[in-house]
Amino acid sequence: MSETYDWIVVGNGVTGASVSYELAKNGQTVLLIERHHPLQGATRYSYGGVAYWSATTPLTFQLCQDSHALYPKLGEELGHDIGFSEIDLLLTVSPDQDPETASQKYLNCLNPPQPLSTQEACELEPLLNPDAISGALTVKHGQVDPEAMVAAYNQAFQSIGGKIQIATVTGLERAGDRITGVTTDQGGYGADKVLLSTGGLTRSLLEKEGIAIRQYFTHAELIETPILDDVRLRTLIMPADTQRFDLEAEAGNPELDSHWDEMGREIVPPILDVGVVQLPDGRLRIGQVSRALTDPHATIDAAQSEMEMRQGIEHIVPALRNVPGQWHHCLVAFSGDRLPLIGPFSQSEGLWIFSGFSNPFAILPPLARRFAAHVTGGEDDIIPTLAPDRPGLTAWQ
Ligand SMILES: Cc1cc2nc3c(=O)[nH]c(=O)nc-3n(C[C@H](O)[C@H](O)[C@H](O)COP(=O)(O)OP(=O)(O)OC[C@H]3O[C@@H](n4cnc5c(N)ncnc54)[C@H](O)[C@@H]3O)c2cc1C
């Protein structure tokens, strides 16, 4: 091993990219290790929606309010465009429901989406099929270009001395119970602290080390189109009755935890949330199927999924019939209680986690900022509250 860093951050999705930058900004020497260039994880295929309206607890209220203030300035601070804008989110209501009833589900949100008639929904999004809905809900939603956001964080990180290494972390270096670095396919790297931001692969990485964590993942599938000049969506479209979070809540039930250690299981049936987003450059991401399969490398019937996603979106937005596009797949991490897993591990000194987000864009930039300030000596009222009572993690001051 050559140089020893204050921190090694593993994983360069939006989580690792933001936290590595914030640590470096607080004067830490940081090595960020990512196995893929270009990226292939959840961030690469995300819609990049910033649901800062969706907070439901005092903790998420605070973080979403921080995000609302931070996002418009973030690109300027990082010195690169992150593709941020505020758009109308359109949550479609199926004909067997009515918008008033559908809106009840969101009443305790910081800024609850408002019901619209079919006509109002179609005025907001002229490409909608009025016969496919009974109306919609709408709220102002942030949107970023997820790949641009990672690139912006990375460039700002490197400009203040952060280093990036493309390598696959294969294990942890130890001296007794203390973690002293990582092994990779490119050699070993030493650090005072190793922080895992490895998304859906965190559980299997830790399993190899004999460390248990209640973090799970879905296999997410979507279709990405090339840049389409002849289609212009005005809104980000999702179903009002989103199934993904229900699937995560069910599959993350602590009683099912041991099932996740059995390869080849499907914890709960798959879901399809019919939605579409247009990125600032004109590409569409159409989705999304989520599956709770315990094997991160499980084989999936791509043709069948693609057909179901296409049928779903063509019904809601007929203009998208036969758009060119390619099926993609990635893993999306979640924690079971919708809160991030942040903190040091109790059994392995020097090993930390900053992961487990299912809807991270709404809270991540301020959370990464608070985390880095706190671990470098600042006070924070939120960060220390996130570790206690989470199996495997320990409280810290
Ligand atoms: C279709 C879709 C739409 C979504 N829409 C939204 C949305 O609108 N809003 C929102 O907030 N969220 C959304 N999400 C979820 C969100 O995108 C993810 O939760 C988020 O991107 C996860 O970021 P991450 O950095 O934790 O994980 P990832 O982006 O998966 O990054 C983890 C990284 O770790 C690397 N890694 C793993 N193991 C190793 C190793 N051993 N060595 C080196 N590197 C390793 C991986 O290569 C990967 O790049 C969506 C997800 C999908 C799939």
Phi, psi (deg, nearest 5) at residue 237: -105, 130
User: Taking a C-beta distance cutoff of 8 angstroms, is the pair 56, 110 a contact?
Assistant: yes
Q: Which two tokens stand for residue 345?
A: 């591990």
Pocket test for ligand 1, best of 9, 21, 35 (most atoms within 8 A of CB): 35
Give the ranges where 161-229 is alpha helix by DSSP (H).
202-208
Q: Which atom in ligand 1 lies closest to the alpha carbon of residue 357?
A: 19
The token pair that represents 221 in the structure block: 């599938």
Q: Is the CB of 275 under 6 A from ligand 1?
A: no
Distance from the CA of 204 to the center of ligand 1, in angstroms?
15
Q: Using CA positions, which residue lies closest to atom 52 of ligand 1?
A: 46
Ligand 1 midpoint to CA 331 (Å): 7
CA 397 – ligand 1 centroid, Å:
28
Q: Whose CA is nearest to atom 41 of ligand 1?
A: 169
Which CATH number is correct for 4-81+146-214+339-386, 3.50.50.60, 1.20.1250.20, 3.20.20.70, 3.40.190.10?
Answer: 3.50.50.60
8 Å CB contact between 282 and 228: yes
Residue segments in the chain with a per-residue pLDDT below the cut of 70: 1-2, 387-389, 395-397
Q: What is the pLDDT of residues 116-149, one digit of tens each?
A: 999 999 999 999 999 999 999 999 999 999 999 9
Beta strand spans in the chain (E): 4-10, 30-34, 49-50, 85-93, 114-116, 135-143, 163-166, 169-175, 178-184, 187-196, 216-224, 235-239, 271-278, 284-291, 326-334, 341-344, 351-355
CA–centroid distance, residue 302 to ligand 1 (Å) = 20
Q: Would you state the structure tokens that stand for residue 196, as one six-digit string? A: 């895992």
Q: Does the C-beta of 330 come closer than 6 Å to ligand 1?
A: yes
Q: What is the distance in angstroms between the CA of the first residue and the CA of the last residue of the chain?
A: 31
Contact call for residues 123 and 71 (beta carbons, < 8 A): no
Contact 11, 197 (CB under 8 A): yes
> Residue 67: CB within 6 Å of ligand 1?
no
Confidence at residue 396, expressed as pLDDT on a 0 to 100 scale: 62
Residue 384 pLDDT: 85
Nearest residue (CA) to ligand 1, atom 51: 46
Question: Does the predicted TM-score (pTM) go above 0.95?
Answer: yes
Query: Rounded to the nearest whole angstrom, what is the distance from the C-alpha of residue 129 to the centroid of ligand 1?
Result: 31
Given this model, what pLDDT does residue 1 score?
Answer: 52
> Is residue 18 within 6 Å of ligand 1 at its C-beta?
no
Domain 87-139+216-334, CATH 3.30.9.10 — does that match? yes
The residue ranges of every structural domain in the chain are 4-81+146-214+339-386, 87-139+216-334
pLDDT at 389: 66
Angle between helices 364-375 and 58-78 (to 10 degrees): 90
Tell how far the Cα of 197 is from the centroid of ligand 1, in angstroms. Answer: 9
What's the maximum distance between 2 C-alpha atoms anywhere in the chain? 66
Q: Categorise residue 300: left if φ over 0, alpha if ψ from -120 to 50, beta otherwise.
A: beta
| Ligand 1 lined by 47 (C-beta under 6 Å) | yes
Ligand 1 site, residue 357, Cβ cutoff 6 A? yes
Which atom of ligand 1 lies at the shortest distance from residue 11's CA? 34
* Residue 205 Cα: closest atom of ligand 1: 41
**What integer pLDDT is reported at residue 126 of this predicted model?**
98
Give residue 291 CA to ligand 1 midpoint distance, Å.
Answer: 15
Q: Residue 173 — φ and ψ, nearest 5°?
A: -85, 140
Secondary structure in 3-state letters for 97-124: CCHHHHHHCCCCCCCCCEEECHHHHHHH
